[in-house]
């Protein structure tokens, strides 16, 4: 069995693969033998993100430049915490949950700061915010699904929902409940159905027990079929959208390009969703 045959590198956002990850690797090389943990890096990124949001709210050309630089640092740190967790072998469910929540806190705060700073372009900012969140939800769903099917032979999205529900059953956590409903929103977008915690309890025994683990050859075949789909989704992550926001902020053209950028991101997302539905339909039909 060749692990290279089951790689999912196509799913890595290009801005991370060719830019952020290499910078993050240098930082991780410094931090790997220190007491710094991935969660601490995430907390720092939240702090810097909130500072960026505040500076955006000042609404001057210089503030947009500085806030854009800080937001770019946040994007790099978002790669650092994941790499550091792998290097230190201390990845955890809490870390993954914290990382996801941190991203949305930062993105919403930044958009709020820009809205205050510009004091206009509300429609463009709302469109940008909604599309960015939808892109993040969809990208996370596809990433988890593709990776687990290709490398483990089952749909990790369904397993993640089940595992989260079981954790909630043992520990009544608000964060876990939020994560459960986040996963349900993902499933609603792609599968058209949504379960509350109460209704899910009636189908909890379905889980993965009714599914089969795909063989290596089946997983390899599936990978070949969804390769183009993975490449398409790699351009629809949140980091790509935020990196473009960084560029128009740093170059002082945010007022001119904010609405065109929001329209472009929305159009790209709609196209990708259509392509995804058509591609998956064909794959399932062949089965």
**Cβ proximity of 242 and 111 under 8 Å:** no
Q: Which of 83, 110, 105, 91 is nearest to 12 (CA)?
A: 83
With H, G, I as helix, E, B as strand and everything else as coil, classify residue 5.
helix
Instruction: Please state the pTM of the whole predicted model.
Output: 0.87
Report percent pLDDT > 90 for the chain. 64
Q: Return the pLDDT at 276.
A: 93
Residue 182's contacts (CB-CB under 8 Å, 6 or more residues apart) are 100, 137
Q: Which of 106, 83, 213, 81 is nearest to 151 (CA)?
A: 213
- For 121-132, the pLDDT digits (tens) are 899 999 999 999
Report the length, in residues, of the chain: 287
Q: Return the pLDDT at 204.
A: 66
- The distance from CA 58 to its chain's CA centroid, rounded to whole angstroms, is 28
- The distance from CA 4 to its chain's CA centroid, rounded to whole angstroms, is 24
Min mean pLDDT across 73-82, 123-132, 152-161 is at 152-161
Min mean pLDDT across 10-14, 90-94, 203-207, 239-243 is at 203-207
Q: Return the pLDDT at 1.
A: 45
Mean per-residue pLDDT, 14-32: 96
- For 133-152, the pLDDT digits (tens) are 999 889 989 999 999 999 99
Please report which confidence band the pLDDT of residue 203 belongs to, taking 50, 70 and 90 as the band edges.
low
Q: Return the pLDDT at 23.
A: 97
Q: Return the pLDDT at 69.
A: 98
pLDDT > 50? residue 257: yes
**Start-end of H helices in the chain:** 14-15, 21-31, 38-56, 61-88, 93-118, 122-152, 156-170, 174-191, 197-200, 216-234, 238-250, 254-286
- The distance from CA 282 to its chain's CA centroid, rounded to whole angstroms, is 26
Mean per-residue pLDDT, 248-255: 96
Please report which confidence band the pLDDT of residue 58 belongs to, taking 50, 70 and 90 as the band edges.
very high
Q: Return the pLDDT at 208.
A: 46
Q: Return the pLDDT at 43.
A: 94
Q: Which domains does the chain have, with CATH numbers?
A: 13-153+213-286 (1.20.120.1760)
Q: Which two tokens stand for residue 284?
A: 């399932």
Q: Return the pLDDT at 100.
A: 79
How far is the C-alpha of 153 from the C-alpha of 155, rounded, in Å?
Answer: 7
Mean per-residue pLDDT, 187-194: 84
């Amino acid at each position: 069995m060749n692990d290279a045959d089951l790689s999912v590198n196509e799913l890595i956002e290009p801005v991370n693969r060719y830019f952020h990850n290499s910078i993050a690797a240098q930082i991780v090389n410094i931090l790997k033998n220190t007491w710094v943990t991935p969660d601490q890096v995430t907390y720092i990124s939240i702090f810097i993100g909130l500072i960026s949001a505040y500076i955006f709210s000042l609404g001057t050309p210089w503030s947009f430049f500085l806030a854009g630089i800080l937001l770019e640092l946040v994007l790099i740190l978002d790669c650092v915490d994941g790499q550091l967790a792998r290097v230190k072998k201390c990845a955890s469910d809490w870390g993954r949950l914290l990382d996801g929540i941190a991203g949305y806190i930062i993105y919403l705060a930044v958009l709020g700061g820009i809205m205050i700073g510009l004091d206009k372009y509300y429609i463009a900012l709302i469109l940008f915010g909604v599309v960015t969140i939808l892109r993040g939800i969809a990208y996370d769903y596809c990433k988890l699904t593709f990776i687990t099917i290709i490398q483990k032979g089952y749909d990790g999205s369904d397993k993640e929902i089940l595992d989260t529900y079981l954790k909630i059953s043992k520990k009544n956590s608000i964060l876990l409940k939020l994560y459960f409903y986040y996963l349900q929103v993902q499933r609603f977008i792609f599968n058209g159905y949504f379960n509350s915690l109460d209704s899910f309890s009636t189908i909890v025994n379905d889980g993965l027990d009714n599914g089969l683990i795909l063989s290596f050859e089946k997983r390899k075949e599936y990978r070949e079929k969804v390769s183009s789909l993975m490449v398409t989704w790699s351009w629809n992550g949140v980091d790509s959208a935020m990196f473009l926001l960084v560029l128009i902020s740093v170059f002082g053209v945010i007022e001119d390009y904010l609405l065109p950028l929001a329209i472009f991101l929305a159009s790209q997302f709609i196209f990708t969703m259509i392509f995804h539905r058509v591609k998956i339909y064909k794959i399932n039909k062949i089965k």
